[in-house]
Amino acid sequence: MNLEEYISSGIIENYILGLTSSKESQSVETMAAMYPEIRDVITSYQKTMDEYGNLHAVQPPASLKPHILNAIRRERQSAVTSAKKIKPKENTLFRALHTWKRIAAAAILLLIASVVLNSIYISKYQKSEDRYTDLVRSHQLLVTRNQTIETRLEEVEKNMQVLLNPAMRHVVMKGVDKYPGMVATVYWDPQSRSAYLATTNLPVPPAGKAYQLWAIVDGKPVDMGMYNPAKEKGPIAMKNVISGQVQAFAITLEKQGGSPTPTMDQMYVIGKI
């Protein structure tokens, strides 16, 4: 299973939610330690889960509860004081009035609580809208990041297929006397006649110029295509080598678009097979 399949398998989401077994959790942590891409995905998922939880968390202010309890306590104390001042024959009427008074007081308290809570929820709703917008933006960034990772993984997989192909021959081209220290690598498959230009340390060419790869076939230079290190990263697929005995590969600096024959005084590297 490659990294893309591992990321899309759902095991990372289960790990974040705590649904994996100890063995699976250990596997995810091992993969995260080995591959920065998986570690980035875990961090992104954890951040998204935290933001989602904070988005839906609503808690009334702590000061609301003591205010309501104090109001009820004052109302009870006032009722007891009033009851002591009423004559016994008025107790029945007082109890009825007191009951309605308590109901009215409770209704007022509920109204106050409702107004306070409504204001809180409105404020929370406005904040939630802002956080939802931020969450959507974060999700979009995560999708873009995942697409970038997938593209990189595809490139890595393609490069690995080229480099690990047992039929490939590794040809190192070293700098000529005029350009010591320059180096480039060609991977050439004699069976399919395909060639890939891999690592180079060639300098960025001047404006209007580009590097051209040549194959020396039966003593004659054959064009293999253009290369610009500022725009391309290896391995880069070049033209297929024509039939014949390939004796060497070389790179020259030519005008943009290439040249039918190599400019010999502009040869940077050459490597014999």
Q: Where are the domains of the chain?
A: 3-56, 64-161, 169-272
Is-contact 226 210, C-beta < 8 A?
Answer: yes
Strands (E), the chain: 169-175, 183-189, 194-200, 209-217, 220-227, 236-237, 246-255, 267-272
Q: How confident is the model at residue 13 (pLDDT cuts 50, 70, 90)?
A: confident
Q: What's the confidence (pLDDT) of residue 252?
A: 96
> Among 258, 261, 265, 269, which Cα is nearest to 210's?
258
Give tens-digit pLDDT for 30-82: 888 888 888 888 887 777 766 655 655 555 556 656 666 676 677 667 666 66
Q: What's the CA gap between 46 and 64, in Å, rounded?
A: 33
Query: What is the rounded average pLDDT for all residues in the chain?
Result: 77
Which residue would you say has higher pLDDT here, 49 or 87?
Answer: 49
Helix (H, G, I), strand (E, B) or coil at 227: strand
Phi then psi for 83, rounded to 5 degrees?
Answer: -65, -35
Q: How confident is the model at residue 261 (pLDDT cuts 50, 70, 90)?
A: very high
Q: What's the CA gap between 188 and 106, in Å, rounded?
A: 88
Is-contact 174 183, C-beta < 8 A?
Answer: yes
Q: Please give the distance of CA 121 from its chain centroid, rounded to a whole number.
A: 33
CA angle 261, 262, 268 (to 5 degrees): 170
Other Cβ atoms closer than 10 A to 182: 17
Q: What's the confidence (pLDDT) of residue 89?
A: 46
Whether the predicted model's global pTM rises above the 0.75 cut: no
